[in-house]
Structure 1
Amino acid sequence: MMACVEKMASSHSHATFFLSFSIFLWFSLHIVHVSATEPTVPWYENLPAVAMDYKVHIDPGKEDCYFQYVNPGATFYVSFQVVRGGDGMAGFAVRNPKGDIVHPYQWKPNSEYQEQSSVGGYYSVCIDNQFSRFAGKLVNIYLTVVRYDMWEQYTKDVEELNMNMENFTTTIMGVERNINEMRQYQHHTRGREAWDMSLLTANNTYVVRWSLIQIVVIAITTIVQVYFLRKLFETKTGTGFSKSRI
């Protein structure tokens, strides 16, 4: 009787172990399947605000496009400014995630585009230098993506904790907007400073080059004048020449 009971207990223990191992294996396979099917999202796409500042070189006769992910409902702002090169102008266009041109091409030294509530997706920012066949352009691009709706989510989370932080959250939202405007102003100021520096450098090179050319021309002119002036006072005597000096 005891042997029968021990045999039944051993069988029950083996069955329990097999069931536990099966459940563990099922969960492991399920987790691996979910991890493999879920798309990987870049870390910066979930941030409340993203600001990017680029300086890019556009070759003559070329067009370069850059893509930026914008969360649904976020505020998207982009501006460009030609720092130096050629006539100081380039084409600038913005396409939404559907491929529609929301900011058409215009040949300008600088331009900007802002969308208060985005539909979400990857926006295309294109810089066109096809009208310039010989001169490359150095272009400054500034991008910002701000998700003001995340502050509202923070407010809801605080209210769930029975804390009255509405005024504090409103103040933070105002500060965030002011900081974003200050960054935009700083971007324009830096771009203008770079443009002025490029203009001063070009003017200095122009003045130095033409000054050297004029010095060389004056020196050559002086040498030629002295040579022909000496030739005027040369006299022929017999078979040879005699030179009289004044």
Structure 2
Amino acid sequence: MLSSSHVCFMSICLWSLLHHVLMEGGPGVGEEDFSFDGLPGAQHEFKVEVPGNQEECFVQKVAQNAELHASFEVLRGGSRMVDFYIKDVHNRVIDKLLYKSEGSFKYTVPATGHYQICVNNVHSRFVSKLVHFYIVTMVEEEWTKYVQEIDEINNTVENFTVVITEVQNSIKQVRLHQSATRMNVMKDWYMVTGNNSYVMYWSLFQIACVLMTSSFQVYFVRKLFNIPNVTPTAKPRA
């Protein structure tokens, strides 16, 4: 049996191993591994409260030659005017909209990296603003390939649907044929049973008639040849 100290030591070791795996992202996982966030595409839609005279930035990893679409709209708060801009991997502003309540960007990314989408509530010192964001990244070639694959899948599904419909119609026809066959079998069975009963009763009636006729014939024939015996005392007188 394991002692309590051994059990405690094993629990601590397992907890340390689990913590290390969670913090490091698992064995063999590094910074250059594939990220599902932005490669080859991503879509995010959210709302954020930006305090007065504060800046909020959101980092999005984008693949090379991908298109980055970013749009915003201030839903409430003061004059609803903010500054909106995008920064590249070198923290340089590549596009901006100043003193706007809504707007959108479209930018083709030259190199894979982390890009920042920022909103600055510099025009209001004390009033916060609720801003709605919509961010989309996609690689045109990958998107075209995806659409083609979807079309192929749709065609396959349509063909499969046609085949399934034909099979279903064939099954319906088979069931109708089976139902008609069962009805014919039942009808023939009742007809055969009725004919059998009719023939049996008619045969019994004919047998009875033959027996009765034979009995009557035997009786009358015997009656015809039945001659009484004449004794000397019973002789007729002349």
Please indicate the TM-score interval, normalised by the length of the shorter structure: 0.3 to 0.5
User: Normalising by the residue count of structure 1, what TM-score does the alignment of the two structures yield?
Assistant: 0.45
User: Normalising by the residue count of structure 2, what TM-score does the alignment of the two structures yield?
Assistant: 0.47
